[in-house]
Structure 1
Amino acid sequence: MLNRAILMGRLVADPELRQTPNGVSVTAFRIAVNRTYNRELTDWIDIVAWRQQAEFVSKYFQKGSMIVVEGSIQTRNYEDKNGNKRTAVEVVADQVHFAESKNAQRTNSQNFPLPTEMDEPAKGTGFSVGNMDDYEELDTDDGDLPF
């Protein structure tokens, strides 16, 4: 079985670092992620980061920052204030990465309006995976795989 999620989006609010009673760092935050097939729709994904990942997110990211989160989807059941049974779905972050330059992050965290469900996505919010000069062609004429 496989439970893996990789998401890229913008933080909806500043992350807040907390400590468990045992002194373990944790932060919970939400990111806005535009849907690939319908860029007019945005999903709001809850993320939880623990220990060094929590400290990293709290130190270097703020509202509006673009972030890449790698982790697994987790569900948990709880009872709300009115006694209703609820289920929370969140991504537990294994790794988090910057998704834009420092200058873009400073600019966007201050000026970037977060999308609403009907907003058009902001122009230029994608990322580049590099150019073809970064790749080396492998000789695989012998039929062997290169790894």
Structure 2
Amino acid sequence: MLNRVILIGRLTADPELKYTPNGIAVANFTLAVDRARANQNGEREADFIPVVVWQKAAEASAQYLKKGKMAAVDGHLQIRSYENKEGQRVRVAEVVAENVRFLSPADHNGSGGNGQVSQNRQPQPSYSGGTSGHGGGGYSSPNPFSDPFGDGRPVDLDSDDLPF
């Protein structure tokens, strides 16, 4: 079985960094990802996809990613449910990031920048799969240490292309 998600988009807001009671960092942000085709009116629409990042990758994402910055996320889709304050069962779909790549150029104040963070503790670039107790997993490319986002150059987009 395979559960792999690769996204490239822009953050709709600054990442929100929190810590679990055990001191584990977790960051949440939403990526605006353009759809491949225009709608019936010829306009490009976007999907707003929630992303969860754990541990050191969460701290680095919170430090370097900001609203409007472009990022690439490699991870897996997770569907979870919880009971809200009104007692209703709510289902949530989110991407649990295993690798995050910062694609926007660095600002003069040091935020942003090109770089990659991942859940593993090996030197970059590498891929170990699996996070927070979820099963490991191979990466089915000929080279398991290859960059899943291509040649590593930043993508140049005009801010007029942003859906927000």
What letter is aligned with 1:8?
A: I
2:60 to 44, 48, 56: 56
Stretch deviating more after TM superposition (9-18 or 64-73): 9-18
Q: Name 2:15's counterpart in structure 1.
A: 15
1:68 pairs with 2:72: yes
> Highest Rg: 1 or 2?
1
1:115 pairs with 2:163: yes
Q: Matched residues in 1 for 2:84 and 2:15: separation?
A: 23
Q: CA deviation at 1:34?
A: 0.5
2:81 to 74, 77, 80: 77
Structure 2 matches for 1:124-139, cutoff 5 A?
Answer: none
Alpha-carbon deviations, 1:89-112, whole Å to 9, x = none?
A: 000000000223225x68xxxx94
User: Contact 2:11–2:68 (CA<8 Å) still a contact in 1?
Assistant: yes
User: Contact 2:37–2:44 (CA<8 Å) still a contact in 1?
Assistant: no
User: Contact 2:28–2:50 (CA<8 Å) still a contact in 1?
Assistant: yes
Q: Matched residues in 1 for 2:19 and 2:81: separation?
A: 22
Higher helix content, 1 or 2: 1
2:101 to 97, 104, 107: 97
- Tell me the SS of whatever aligns to 2:91: strand
Q: CA deviation at 1:16?
A: 2.1
TM-score by length of 2: 0.63
Identity %: 44
User: Contact 2:75–2:95 (CA<8 Å) still a contact in 1?
Assistant: yes
Q: Matched residues in 1 for 2:25 and 2:78: separation?
A: 19
Query: Unpaired segments of 5 or more residues in structure 2?
Result: 114-157
TM-score by length of 1: 0.69
Query: Unpaired segments of 5 or more residues in structure 1?
Result: 117-147
